[in-house]
Amino acid sequence: MLDNLWLGLTTALSIHALTYAFVGVLIGNLIGVLPGIGALAAIAMLLPMTYSLDPTGALMMLAGLYYGTSFGGATTSILLNLPGTAQHAVVCLDGHQLALKGRAGPAIFMAMFASCIGVIVGIIMMTFLSPLVVSVAFKFGPAEYFSLMLLGLLAASVLTTGSPIKGIIGILFGLICGTIGTDLTSGAIRFTFGLPGLIEGLSIVALAMALFGVTEVYKNAGILKSGDLISKDLDRRSVRPNKKEMKQSAGAIARGSIIGSVLGALPGTGGVLGSFMSYAAEKKLDKDPQRFGQGAIEGVAGPEAANSSAAITAFIPTLTLGIPGDAVMALMMGALMIHNIIPGPQLITEHASLFWGLIMSFWIGNLMLLVLNIPLIGIWIKLLTIPYRWIYPIVLFLISVGVYSTNNNLTDVGVVTLFGVLGYLAARLGYEPAPIILGLVLGPLMEQNFRRALKISHGDLSVFIYRPISASFLLIIVLLLTAVLVINLRKKRLKKR
């Protein structure tokens, strides 16, 4: 192991490798701050540039792009309630509330610090536990994935700060939205209303932008004046969290890093489920869960750590099994195959310098991101002092450009406009957007895995119980539901007394 790490360090510290890694994290970080662009569009645009590079440099640059966008995506989520990707949607819940209270600087700093720790935990997992994680991933079939995602949806029911019933309604609405488009199993086109732009389904980015960003614009337009978002009682120059916030965030970062590392290594789950599960865990474990949604620093620290650790461990199934977990990893795999490198179990031995060099470049790239971003926190905070009659048109313009550039689909702009209005009405009625996003993300995956499991078992539903891992997830679901019912009954009895 020491020899492998030394080989990776010498590879990553070469001049050309450092240059490519720096270019990747710099461009990725800048794109991450722009709402709606995301890692997929960034890598797709820069992939042709890697054709003439050596495989190690190409992969380091693309990897830097990937986790650089993840690192920078929290900034607009906190400042303007604009999640650039679905992974950052949950950060809006408390991150933007902290910005409203004049704690934008500490919130961004904590997001960066949590991302850094999450990457470190992900690297350690990838370095020492790759064989174990791969063996566990091999045991996950359609039944296990379905049960895991069902558990994730149950966890999403605690994301709301109001009525759990409204949270469940939001999840169901997200699941319904997830059925729009082409059925991947039968090829049937469903619920598109004759619009060709909906054949591939609703864009997750478009829905996230609408429910968070556009809704926020509609809520505040014509009400806020310059500087209204920043509390006058707090120091605007402060960018470091206080001791209490650091203490509150320590456990959240540790738990989020572990949750993200495990779920990121499972193909198809990635950082979305990790960030939402981390938030749900922190809210369940906190002595005062009502703080969440009102500006709890743990609501930023945990999901960001989970998101970043998942971004690293997502490379495990891609490189060691040749199974890309999402579209971004598929592009990474394509970049390797362009250079005649086939991902799989033999990659670690046949291309040791590439594999271990990539791992060590994660450490270096992470340090680069910290050095680049911490001095910029003060500049980002100053965005809140710009008059909002200028900010809101710019925000709507950036949302439209970002959403359109994701799929080059004008229908997505219409989706943003429509769901922005629906999001505003839902917010007035007390509905939260986060469960809707998770329902949209997990709905199609749940449907596919449910149908695959039934095909394998010839229609026997007991397959979800007979398989041990799936049965374990279902048992956790039953225990959680039982615990919630018992707690609610006790509360009712205490109120009667």
In a domain, 494, yes or no: no
pLDDT classification of 373: cutoffs 50, 70, 90: confident
Q: 15 vs 379, which has greater pLDDT? A: 15
pLDDT classification of 113: cutoffs 50, 70, 90: confident
In a domain, 33, yes or no: yes
pLDDT classification of 187: cutoffs 50, 70, 90: confident
Q: 224 vs 492, which has greater pLDDT? A: 492
Residue 100 pLDDT > 60, yes or no? yes
Which amino acid is present at 27?
I
What three-state secondary structure class fits 190? strand
Instruction: Read off the pLDDT of each residue in 72-76 and give the average, rounded to a whole number.
Output: 76
pLDDT classification of 8: cutoffs 50, 70, 90: confident
| Separation CA 117–CA 366 (nearest Å) | 9
For position 38, what pLDDT does the model report? Answer: 65
User: What pTM, to 2 d.p., does this model score?
Assistant: 0.74
Residue 249 pLDDT > 80, yes or no? yes
- 242-263 in b/e form (b: 16+ CB < 10 A) is eeebbebbeebbbbbbbbbbbb
CA atoms in the 13 A half-sphere facing the CB of 291 = 17
> What tens digit of pLDDT does each residue of 335-347 get?
777 777 777 667 7
Which tokens in the block code for residue 305?
Answer: 């750590």
Residue 109 pLDDT > 70, yes or no? yes
Residue 472 pLDDT > 80, yes or no? yes
**SS3 track for 72-131:** HHHHHHHHHCCCCCHHHCCHHHHHHHHHHCCCHHHHHHHHHHHHHHHHHHHHHHHHHCHH
Taking every pair of C-alpha atoms in the chain, what is the biggest distance, in angstroms? Answer: 75
For position 388, what pLDDT does the model report? Answer: 65
Most confident of 43-52, 177-186, 329-338, 386-395: 177-186
In a domain, 484, yes or no: no
Residue 250 pLDDT > 70, yes or no? yes
For position 233, what pLDDT does the model report? Answer: 44
For position 363, what pLDDT does the model report? Answer: 84
CB 73 within 8 A of CB 86: no
Residue 445 pLDDT > 50, yes or no? yes
For position 156, what pLDDT does the model report? Answer: 63
For position 97, what pLDDT does the model report? Answer: 84
CA dihedral angle for residue 241, residue 246, residue 250, residue 252, rounded to 10 degrees: -60
269 — phi, psi (to 5°)?
-100, -60
For position 238, what pLDDT does the model report? Answer: 62
In what helix (H) or strand (E) does residue 4 lie, and over which residues does it extend?
helix 2-12
For position 232, what pLDDT does the model report? Answer: 44
Using alpha carbons, select from 35, 36, 28 the residue that is nearest to residue 71: 28
Residue 92 pLDDT > 70, yes or no? yes
In what helix (H) or strand (E) does residue 366 lie, and over which residues does it extend?
helix 352-373
pLDDT classification of 235: cutoffs 50, 70, 90: very low
| Separation CA 153–CA 273 (nearest Å) | 9
232 — phi, psi (to 5°)?
-75, -15
Q: 478 vs 1, which has greater pLDDT? A: 478
| Separation CA 280–CA 295 (nearest Å) | 15
> What tens digit of pLDDT does each residue of 123-163 get?
888 777 666 766 666 677 888 888 888 887 776 665 555 56
For position 231, what pLDDT does the model report? Answer: 45
| Averaged confidence pLDDT in the chain | 78
For position 234, what pLDDT does the model report? Answer: 44
In a domain, 469, yes or no: no
Which amino acid is present at 435?
P
CB 178 within 8 A of CB 169: no
Residue 227 pLDDT > 50, yes or no? no
Instruction: Read off the pLDDT of each residue in 25-35 and give the average, rounded to a whole number.
Output: 76
In a domain, 474, yes or no: no
> What tens digit of pLDDT does each residue of 378-392 get?
777 676 666 667 777
pLDDT classification of 20: cutoffs 50, 70, 90: confident
What three-state secondary structure class fits 85? coil
For position 497, what pLDDT does the model report? Answer: 64
Residue 349 pLDDT > 80, yes or no? no
Instruction: Read off the pLDDT of each residue in 99-124 and give the average, rounded to a whole number.
Output: 85
> What tens digit of pLDDT does each residue of 434-444 get?
778 778 877 88
For helices 104-128 and 298-313, what crossing angle results, to 10°?
30
Using alpha carbons, select from 56, 492, 131, 121 the residue that is nearest to residue 302: 121
In a domain, 472, yes or no: no
For position 29, what pLDDT does the model report? Answer: 78
pLDDT classification of 268: cutoffs 50, 70, 90: low
Tokens 């790759």, residue located:
130
- 382-420 in b/e form (b: 16+ CB < 10 A) is ebbeeebeebbeebbebbbebbbbbbebebbbebbbebb
Using alpha carbons, select from 36, 115, 111 the residue that is nearest to residue 78: 111
In a domain, 486, yes or no: no
> What tens digit of pLDDT does each residue of 287-332 get?
887 888 888 888 888 888 888 888 888 887 777 766 666 667 777 7
Instruction: Read off the pLDDT of each residue in 70-92 and give the average, rounded to a whole number.
Output: 76
CB 59 within 8 A of CB 337: no
For position 351, what pLDDT does the model report? Answer: 77
pLDDT classification of 1: cutoffs 50, 70, 90: low
Which tokens in the block code for residue 274?
Answer: 């990790």
Q: Domain containing 94: what range?
A: 2-460
**Overall number of domains in the chain:** 1
pLDDT classification of 16: cutoffs 50, 70, 90: confident
In a domain, 425, yes or no: yes
